[in-house]
Chains A and B, each alone.
Chain A
Amino acid sequence: MRRILLGSWLLSLLFCLPLLAQDVSISGRVTSSDDGSALPGVSIQVKGTTRGATTDAQGQYRLSVPANSRLVFSYIGFETQEILVGNQTTIDVKLSSGTQSLNEIVVTAQGIERDKRSLGYSTQEVGASMIAQKSEPNLLNALQGKLAGVQISGQSGAPGASTNINIRGITSFNGSNQPLIVVDGIIFSNDVNVSGNTLFQAQSANRLADVNPENIESVNVLKGPAAAVLYGSRASAGAIIITTKNGRNQNNKTEVTVNSSYNVQNVYGLPRFQNDYGQGTNNLYVNNTTASWGLPFVGGPTSITNLQGETRPYQAYPNNVRDFYQQGSIFQNTANIAGGDANRNFSLSFGNTTQKGIVPTFKFNRTNVQVGGESKLNNGIKVSGTASYVQTVQGGTALGNGGSAFGQLTRIPRSYDLVNEPFQDANGQSIYFLTTANNPNWAVRNLTLNSQVDRFFGNFTVGYDVTKWLNVTYRVTGDTYTDRRKNVNNIGAARAPQGEIIQDQFFRSELNGDLLVNAKADKLFIEGLSGNLLLGNNINQRQSQSQSVYAQQLTIPGFSNVSNGSVFTSSGESSLTRRLVGYYAQASLSYNNYLFLELTGRADRSSTLPRANNTYFYPSASVSFVPTDAFKLQSDILSYAKVRASIAKVGRDADPYLLNSVFAQASFGNNLASVAFPLSIGGSSVPGFAIGGRIGNNGLTPEFVTSQEVGLNLGLFKNKVSIDAAYFFTSSTNQIFNVAVSPSSGYDTRTTNVGELQNRGLELTLNATPVRASGFRWDVTLNFTRIRNKVVSIAPGVTQSGITGNGFIGITSSIVEGQPYGVIVSTANPRVQNTNPNGQYYDATGQFVGQYVINPTTGQFAPGLAGQVIANPNPNWTAGLNNTFSYKGFSLQALVDTRQGGQLFSFSAADYRSGGSLYVTGIDRDQPRILPGVIQNSDGTFRPNNIQLPAQTYWAGLGGLASEGAVFDATVYRLREVSFNYTFPKEWLSRTPLGAASIGITGRNLYFFAPGFFADPEVNTQGAGNIQGLDLNGPPNTRNYGVNLRLTF
């Protein structure tokens, strides 16, 4: 019975349909926003079609257009404006002569296109011209310095190395703080699938690296939870909406675009070395030390005998480290074919990137193929889809302390000819001045990690306008990849002397189905009020599986197949499945196009939480108001003003399988010695399991992020200057976290809901066009970000806890109560204090408070205090300044960015300094030195330290690896990007098949200045993720430059 009723209701709708599908007639007047004068001859085009009109002498126009189309108003000397027709019949438009249109259409959550002025939250768009052809194959790196409120940091100069991105700070103690990535509506994995230990294995790429930057139409960043709440849990860290190139705006023309670029890559950012003293310690030549505390070259011996018993000249090799690196190259080619109009279109893209890195095994080769299209059928159904295939091959080598090339490169004596010394013998074994490490030249060739990713992703969308005001759309998206990795440590590898091969198959898939029901009303209750209601349902499944064959104890040198192994006991598998069902709704109201209100709500049910707690609801609300329109305030100074505010709450589920404590196959040890069960003892196999280190929790509840934001948009001086400012406050509560427990409890962590984390921040974007005259134009964009993050509380009785991940004992990236997220906890040198009379090193006079305490026996720092915060990796603020100058066909763009403050913990620095290879360690080396600090007298008073130390003891005493002496200020100023382009005049091309042609040169990371560190501080060996600010002997950064060519047929 109900079905018949429903059917007849639908039937009645059907009768209305032909009427509603008719074109609507639009009329209006176009004026200048500067002085209100009529603009004659303005071109008005229905976007994606050839239909259009122009205004008459009074600025009037009239044309009939399909409902829901977009009109593009363009006029020379004025900014182009796009307007959604909706159901309006009269559209009056004010065109501004400013630098930028303030009535932009932007893509928001779930692909909904919105007029930017209606948004009560912050978004920022980066167009194709700021992404493509920037000497950089990784999209995230190409976005550096171009976004406010977003921190992007490269982790090293290795090809395909991961890049960390956080929007508006860190909001989760333990979960991923990387934003959600959406490519053409597809929830796109940007995971860094770490299969090994981040302390010593090659860095895996973040999987957004599978996207070809040359095929991107636009990137829109939804910064706060309010903007992204419709995407659910994962968007609590913001979202990045990427739209690839399509044929929608081709006006029924088919166009072929070809982009080619070739760049070279060179190591950049090595420290300055001393070249006065060679290998040795205590002013003596020692043939097997990494230190350069030996004899001076001037007045020293002319030759020495090395560890192999051969005679070598005793001299400095000033470029022995720099010349170890080769020149890399990046060759990128992309072809796009697109055609059609808004209703029927297609696109095809083919791209290839071939990158060779700065050491022989480094490479990154990516091939992308994408097809897409959409079509509106005669019955009113609109179907669209894209399908993409990517193959990414990444070649890497081990990094980190303990066995890798990079772990040794910071310890090369100044007198060792790294480039020309033979690095392997006839049997392929390493030759080096240390028997316990591998020659870096050997290591880069024999410790390899190769990864081949085959990835498919795509979407299929069916939409239907049930009535004029009701649209139903279903979208299915899928993203799946396999990553086949082979990690080879050849026989003789320092970390695996008998050799090992790990063949790892990693699989990940994500499927999403979204139903979107959209209803709108142009006149709601009163004149001028319009509204839109969206109801949605999302089902989501994420699966991953990893299977590894771990072959140890190899027999045949150079045979890199797991069949070469003798022991396979460390092989294993791991699978994850998680599912989620969400329901969401969004109601938007607009009053006279100057006052906007939006309410959203989403309820999720997740498989990863206990049944009793697995359903959770979270809402958001935002308002935006344009007083310049409401009160007619426009003037020559103030052209546009908008104020906005939003509040949002986002719930987040747990990772899978956290509810129970589990057992795992047991193993003991590290690279000193290790055993892994099952053991083979006396010919029989002995299995062994152990209780896992984590205590499960069957009462977990979701965690929440609450965000408040206020913002202001201003257009000044006829919109020649525009400002977008936002202040936000987020509070993350009820965090699902593996809280550290005392190891003597028998466990390492317990999973529980704890704590509170706060972020407050200011972000500012300023656009200006200072000069525009006779064909010359100068545009400036400034982005500024200042975020303060604070761990308010953790758990009762817990004031600090390590962040999940690999780490060295005694150098723990942590959350500490009252401190920003991710501070590094280690051993601090004790200082004189005057707060606790019963404590150590109390100075009643207060004279020496804060000074280091020196051990009177050794003249070195007194034994350190464990568990102290020694470094904060978070910057005080960051900013990027982009200038573009264009004149006729020429354009010059330059981006300068800076990171102010924040600290870096550097193994490399400790190596260079305590090893005596750094430039400063060569100055006045024969002079004794005194460490800064005071000595406690027997009566408890203090005296200044006067114990003289030789240079070697002094520089080593300043700080070894696990100490605050390895902490440096990470402030840096950088010339991030320069590009110079020339577009050939159209008339030159008239006799060729070319529609457009341009040629350019670009450079990246051309110069940096770091006042507090002697190398490039933008490195992090741990890769993208929550652990930041650790330089544990990773690859250095690079400087890239090259040429590019773009042709359109």
Chain B
Amino acid sequence: MKIIFRSVVLMLPLAFGLGCSNFLDESINVTPNNPTAVPPSVLLPTVEIGTAFANANEINRFASTIMQQTAGAANSPATYDVYQTNGADFGNQWRFELYGGALVNAQKIIDIASASNSPAYTGIAKIMKAYAFSVATDMWGDVPYSQALQGEANPQPRVDKQEDIYKGNTSQNIQSLFDLVREGLADLDKQSATRPGNDDVIYRGDLAKWRRAGNTLLLKLANTISVKEPALAKQVIDQVIAGNNFIRSNADDFNVTFGAAVGSRDPRFEYTNISSFKDDLIMSSRYLTLLQGLNDPRLPVFWTKPAANYVTWDNGQSGARPTPVTTWSRYNSYVTGANGEGPVRLLTNFQRAFILAESALMLGTAGDPQTLYAEGIRASMTLAGIPTAQIDAYITANALRGTQQERLAQIITQKYIAFTGNGLELWNDWRRTGYPTQQPAQNAVGIDGTRPVRAVYVSFENERNTNFPNPAPQSNVKVWWDAN
């Protein structure tokens, strides 16, 4: 008995030695928690929702406030309202919603779908990528672009000039945003092994609508640089008009629709009605004055009026806020959806019409500015459910008149009203054109008391990427296309 025991004792290490090959099998270290490969169909919703989320979340709180549609009643919006912004703002937008969200996953779709011969996916992903990059460069100016999204291959991407991002630069190997969209449009025309369906939350896999959206995106990009680069803008717009395949109906709007349940809702619904920050934003008194002055029938559609009168706040105003907060005028269901469905309107029929009106007026592209301007108002009011007779009367009362600049001011002001709830578009148009004309906020401080004309680079990049200038350009330094 003892002999057996002793033998066993002495053999024990041997037994463990033999057992090791299975005990330390490589499968032990394969994660059971995450997939290492996925189909493009689960990445596409992330890209689309991520882009819409970026547009409608903090960027909208910032831009709609400095553009005086909303006023900042508390917290960050109150700071924005007096023109204070720095590198601690928009970290989530840069890091999680744009570069680490919509953009890198669009790039993943391009990589995966190229390998599986699915240009329907690569085409959509390239259009989405171009859109999301336009958000980034319009916000921050020069940003990583041609070397971005490469992960380990380039952990500190170069910062490309905004001019090169919009126009391309062959010597630097930078593809223009226009060419990126065109490449996406070309992909959509190819045979595709797989095609999106319900995973495409924008168009449910309707590639014809995607082609129209892609061409409309070209119009928007050209419009953005039209003051700085009128010739190039005209050339792009002429080309799109000639191609005659862009958004012409509200039904084709490039909208991202959200859901009604918690965790599925449009961020504007959340921060207007639900979250603990819901009393940060209130309708701006100046916006109210503008729309009441125009006798605009969209006012009650776009904004709530829980009390007898609209309860608003002036931009930058100090002192006790109106009470109770339940009386405040906030974004209405036109913006947020009845229960958080949105949609976030990224490219719209009214936008297309206003862009063509502006370029007809300023660049001499095809079409009559007044007709296109009226088309834009009609598209917007139809979306808002305004009866035709009222639309007609409004268009008549607000026909284009005056000098070229006065007419431009009318076009941009109508675009400003129509785009209620998409602050970035308002801010882009104002920076380009200076319209609508607005007085500075009360108690404005900022860097020098003027309205920000760019977002300050997020401090992460200064910590992690030596290609970024430090100190970063402050919020009073114009971006390249801001030439007025």
Which A residues form the contact surface with B (CB < 8 A)? 3, 6-7, 10-11, 13-14, 281-282, 284-288, 307, 379, 381, 402-403, 435-437, 464, 466, 472, 474, 494-495, 497-498, 513, 515, 537, 539, 552-553, 566-567, 569-570, 573-575, 577-579, 581, 605-608, 611, 614, 656-657, 659-664, 666, 668-677, 679-682, 684, 686-693, 695, 739-748, 750, 797-802, 809-810, 812, 814, 825-827, 830, 840, 855, 857-858, 863-867, 962
Contact = CB atoms under 8 A, between A and B. Distances in A.
B3 A865 contact: no
Interface string B232-272: 00000000000000000000000001111111110111110
Contact of A809 (B92, B274, B325): B92
Contacts of B462: 866-867
15 contacts: A3-B7, A287-B320, A436-B279, A498-B262, A498-B274, A515-B13, A579-B23, A669-B267, A690-B101, A740-B463, A743-B100, A745-B148, A746-B148, A797-B155, A800-B463
Contacts of B269: 673
Interface stretch (B40-48, B117-125, B185-193, B358-366): B40-48
B144 A742 contact: yes
A810 B87 contact: yes
B199 interface: yes
A865 B470 CA distance: 7
Contact of B150 (A466, A552, A570, A746): A746
**Interface residue range, chain B:** 35 or more
B24 A657 contact: no
B465 A575 contact: no
A670 B2 contact: no
B198 A686 contact: yes
B104 A747 contact: yes
The 3 closest A-B pairs by CB, nearest first: A746-B104, A866-B459, A673-B270
B206 interface: no
Contacts of B449: 857
B7 A10 contact: yes
B46 A688 contact: yes
Given A10-B6, A573-B33, A744 B143 contact: yes
Contacts of A673: 57, 265, 267-271, 274-275
Interface string B13-44: 10010001001111011111111111000110
Nearest to B154: A745
A748 B95 contact: yes
A689 B464 contact: no
A442 to B, nearest CB: 13
B12 interface: yes
B321 interface: yes
A307 B323 contact: yes
Interface string B124-162: 000000000000000000011000111110111100000
Given A515-B13, A679-B49, A689-B38, A744 B279 contact: no
Nearest to B25: A607
Given A403-B276, A688-B49, A663 B96 contact: no
Given A674-B270, A810-B459, A746 B107 contact: yes
B354 interface: no
A6 B278 CA distance: 80
B348 interface: no
Contacts of B105: 666, 690-691
B57 to A, nearest CB: 6
B91 interface: yes
A284 B462 CA distance: 40
Contact of A681 (B13, B259, B459): B259
Nearest to A580: B24
A669 B32 CA distance: 26
Given A474-B9, A800-B463, A750 B152 contact: yes
B108 interface: yes
Given A575-B33, A745-B150, A676 B58 contact: no
Interface in B60-112: 61, 74, 86-88, 91-92, 94-97, 99-101, 103-105, 107-108
B460 interface: yes
A868 to B, nearest CB: 9
A3 to B, nearest CB: 8
A695 B104 contact: no
B387 interface: no
Interface in B166-224: 198-199, 201
A567 B263 contact: yes
A743 B463 contact: no
B387 to A, nearest CB: 27
B163 interface: no
A672 B157 contact: no
A682 B265 CA distance: 11
Contacts of B285: none
